């Protein structure tokens, strides 16, 4: 891998023309690097390199177009200008289709080439600056240093620069809504509407109204498979339309293949997510992030509550790392907030303690989950003093869904107001 200080990469093995090019570029304060052998070119270009490639179409042991393809596979936004002594229209068209920004025939006007290099460098600097800003935002939002989390941030950063539909699936509390909101916030659609809709079985869904509301923005649908056949057809039609102006993001508890296997989703919609399915791992599958997430939200809660920060002990952090975290990151954040309030000890960890399970008694899973959900809602209402909006935002669910859950458990928000 070459040094990032170089901003022009010359791929050529014709010594006479290369030497003159190098000298002219150096005289104009560029830092050119000559590469006569482009074998394994992908391993030689640094990630997010700010530079321009000048590549000869005719190389001794390589095809210039093949080298171009390799570079595009590494990063399709790297500016590549193809140079040819015996160029023709089909070759030029092919190069542009592969991803070259221009195709120039020798003899080349150096002034014209300099103009193109400078413009390409300016655009590349802007692009890399945008990428870095996106990654910084994602690092601030998705706390942790595990290999999975690093990969997840990279996936979100790349997809934020596209308009592709995305399918996010995983358990509750794993960050599906947070991922969807970041795909919108970091994209060119960030100033357009962000609409979240949860589909509930046997309840009509106003697809056409939702499409109107999210024009030029992002539509996030939770439980897409609950749409009726007619509603799915309406959505599929809008996605196939040439005038399509929205981005679709789906949040699901189950993987796409399982939805298709159970014949809950039309193949027309399924096809849009073939290459953009992202699984959000449960917290116990990336346990090395637990301590970092807990510490971050303890500090954040202490700041919000204007309380002195009391660093957790190493023993407490080890204890947290051994828990199952049924509610995943959401549950861990809730625990951090309780710690900041002085209401948390290892003895009241809200995660299932296998030593306390009584095998002589039956305790149905549905009943346990209902009790746990009720407790979480009541704790959140207590923390936010009965205010519905922050509680709904905390759980990343619509207000309507929260009200339905509260009604189900007989919870009255007024009982939590101070």
In sequence order, the 6+-apart residues with CB closer than 8 A to the CB of 347 are none
Which pLDDT score, from 0 to 100, does residue 359 have?
Answer: 40
Spatial separation of the C-alpha atoms in residues 186 and 136, rounded to whole Å: 11
For residue 119, is it within any domain? yes
Which pLDDT score, from 0 to 100, does residue 243 have?
Answer: 75
Residue 101 belongs to a domain with what CATH number? 3.40.50.2300
Question: Closest by alpha carbon to 72, among 37, 36, 45?
Answer: 45
CA 323 to chain centre: 27
In what side-by-side order are the strands of the sheet with 32-35? 32-35, 8-11, 52-56, 80-84, 102-105
Residue 23 pLDDT greater than 80, yes or no: yes
- Identify whether residues 113 and 148 lie together within a single domain: no
- Identify whether residues 32 and 158 lie together within a single domain: no
- Identify whether residues 62 and 104 lie together within a single domain: yes
Q: What would the pLDDT profile of 130-154 be if each residue is shown by its tens digit?
A: 999 999 999 999 999 999 999 999 9
- Identify whether residues 277 and 289 lie together within a single domain: no
Residue 236 belongs to a domain with what CATH number? 3.40.50.300
Spatial separation of the C-alpha atoms in residues 111 and 114, rounded to whole Å: 5
Within 142-237, strands assigned E span 166-170, 194-198, 218-222
Residue 348 pLDDT greater than 70, yes or no: no
- Identify whether residues 291 and 417 lie together within a single domain: no
* Average pLDDT for 242-252: 90
Greatest C-alpha distance within the chain? 88
- Identify whether residues 42 and 19 lie together within a single domain: yes
**Three-state SS annotation for the chain:** CCCCCCCEEEECCCHHHHHHHHHHHHHCCCCEEEECCCCCHHHHCCCCCCCEEEEECECCCCEHHHHHHHHHHHCCCCCEEEEECCCCHHHHHHHHHHCCCEEEECCCCHHHHHHHHHHHHHHHHHHHHHHHHHHHHHHHHCCCCCHHHHHHHHHHHHHHCCCCCEEEEECCCCCHHHHHHHHHHCCCCCCCCEEEEECCCCCCCCHHHHHHHCCCCEEEEECHHHCCHHHHHHHHHHHHCCCCCCEEEEEECCCHHHHHHCCCCCHHHHHHHCCCEEEECCHHHCHHHHHHHHHHHHHHHHHHHCCCCCCCCHHHHHHHHCCCCCCHHHHHHHHHHHHHCCCCCHHHCCCCCHHHCCCCCCCCHHHHHHHHHHHHHHHHHHHCCCCHHHHHHHHCCCHHHHHHHHHHHCCCHHHHCC
Residue 281 pLDDT greater than 50, yes or no: yes
Residue 309 pLDDT greater than 80, yes or no: yes
Final residue in a domain of this structure, among 312, 337, 354: 354
For residue 246, is it within any domain? yes
Question: Closest by alpha carbon to 173, among 342, 310, 350?
Answer: 350
Spatial separation of the C-alpha atoms in residues 276 and 247, rounded to whole Å: 13
Query: Tokens representing 36?
Result: 């006569």
Instruction: Please give the tally of structural domains in the chain.
Output: 4
2 pLDDT band, cuts 50/70/90, is confident
19 pLDDT band, cuts 50/70/90, is confident
Final residue in a domain of this structure, among 338, 354, 370: 354
**Are the C-beta atoms of residues 34 and 6 closer than 8 Å to each other?**
no
Which pLDDT score, from 0 to 100, does residue 355 have?
Answer: 39
Residue 363 pLDDT greater than 80, yes or no: no
Residue 347 pLDDT greater than 70, yes or no: no
Runs of H (alpha helix) within 202-313: 207-213, 229-240, 256-261, 267-270, 290-305
Global pTM reads 0.74
Report the 10 Å Cβ neighbour count for 47: 10
For residue 2, is it within any domain? no
- Identify whether residues 388 and 338 lie together within a single domain: no
- Identify whether residues 99 and 171 lie together within a single domain: no
For residue 3, is it within any domain? no
Spatial separation of the C-alpha atoms in residues 273 and 249, rounded to whole Å: 10
- Identify whether residues 417 and 364 lie together within a single domain: yes
- Identify whether residues 191 and 290 lie together within a single domain: no
Residue 382 belongs to a domain with what CATH number? 1.10.10
For residue 136, is it within any domain? no
Which pLDDT score, from 0 to 100, does residue 87 have?
Answer: 67
Spatial separation of the C-alpha atoms in residues 280 and 170, rounded to whole Å: 5
Which pLDDT score, from 0 to 100, does residue 353 have?
Answer: 43
Residue 289 belongs to a domain with what CATH number? 1.10.8
Query: Tokens representing 76?
Result: 């399709």
Residue 352 pLDDT greater than 50, yes or no: no
Query: Tokens representing 99?
Result: 């991803």
35 pLDDT band, cuts 50/70/90, is very high
For residue 1, is it within any domain? no
Is 329 buried (19+), middle (13-18) or exposed (0-12) by CB count in 10 A? buried
In sequence order, the 6+-apart residues with CB closer than 8 A to the CB of 1 are 43, 44, 45, 46
* Average pLDDT for 107-114: 87
Q: What would the pLDDT profile of 378-398 be if each residue is shown by its tens digit?
A: 878 877 778 898 888 888 888
Question: Closest by alpha carbon to 218, among 166, 253, 154, 266?
Answer: 166
- Identify whether residues 84 and 117 lie together within a single domain: yes
Above pLDDT 90, what percent of the chain? 61
* Average pLDDT for 25-47: 93
Domain boundaries, position 94: 8-131
Which pLDDT score, from 0 to 100, does residue 125 have?
Answer: 96
- Identify whether residues 64 and 189 lie together within a single domain: no
Residue 416 pLDDT greater than 70, yes or no: yes
Q: What would the pLDDT profile of 144-184 be if each residue is shown by its tens digit?
A: 999 999 999 999 999 999 999 999 999 999 999 999 999 99
């Amino acid at each position: 891998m070459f040094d990032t200080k170089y901003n022009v990469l010359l791929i050529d093995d014709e010594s006479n023309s290369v030497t003159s090019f190098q000298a002219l570029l150096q005289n104009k304060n560029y830092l050119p690097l000559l590469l006569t052998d482009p074998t394994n070119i992908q391993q030689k270009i640094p990630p997010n390199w700010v530079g321009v490639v000048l590549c000869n179409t005719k190389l001794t042991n390589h095809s210039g177009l093949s080298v171009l393809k390799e570079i595009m596979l590494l990063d399709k936004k790297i500016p590549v200008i193809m140079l040819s002594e015996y160029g023709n229209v089909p070759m030029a068209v092919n190069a542009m289709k592969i991803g070259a920004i221009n195709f120039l025939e020798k003899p080349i006007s150096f002034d014209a080439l300099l103009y193109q290099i400078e413009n390409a460098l300016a655009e590349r600097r802007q692009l890399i600056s945008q990428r870095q800003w996106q990654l910084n935002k994602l690092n601030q939002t998705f706390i942790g240093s595990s290999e999975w989390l690093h990969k997840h941030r990279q996936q979100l950063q790349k997809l934020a620069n596209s308009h592709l539909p995305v399918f996010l699936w995983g358990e509750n509390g794993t960050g599906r809504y947070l991922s969807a909101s970041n795909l919108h916030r970091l994209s060119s659609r960030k100033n357009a509407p962000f609409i979240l809709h949860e589909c509930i079985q046997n309840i009509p869904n106003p697809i056409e109204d939702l499409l109107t509301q999210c024009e030029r923005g992002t539509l996030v649908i939770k439980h897409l498979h609950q749409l009726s056949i007619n509603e799915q057809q309406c959505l599929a039609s809008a996605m196939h339309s040439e005038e399509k102006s929205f981005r679709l993001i789906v949040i699901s508890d189950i993987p796409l293949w399982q939805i298709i296997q159970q014949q809950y989703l039309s193949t027309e919609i399924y096809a849009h997510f073939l290459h953009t399915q992202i699984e959000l791992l449960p917290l116990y599958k990336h346990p090395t992030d637990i301590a970092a997430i807990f510490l971050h939200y303890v500090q954040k809660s202490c700041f919000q509550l204007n309380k002195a920060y009391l660093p957790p002990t190493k023993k407490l952090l080890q204890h947290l790392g051994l828990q199952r975290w049924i509610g995943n990151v959401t549950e861990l954040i809730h625990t951090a907030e309780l710690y900041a309030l002085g209401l948390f000890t290892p003895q009241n960890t809200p995660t299932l303690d296998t030593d306390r399970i009584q095998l002589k008694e039956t305790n149905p899973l549905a009943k346990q989950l209902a009790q746990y959900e009720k407790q979480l809602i009541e704790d959140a209402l207590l923390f936010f003093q009965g205010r519905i909006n922050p509680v709904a935002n905390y759980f990343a669910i619509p207000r309507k869904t929260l009200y339905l859950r509260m009604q189900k458990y007989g919870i009255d928000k007024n009982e939590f107001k101070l």
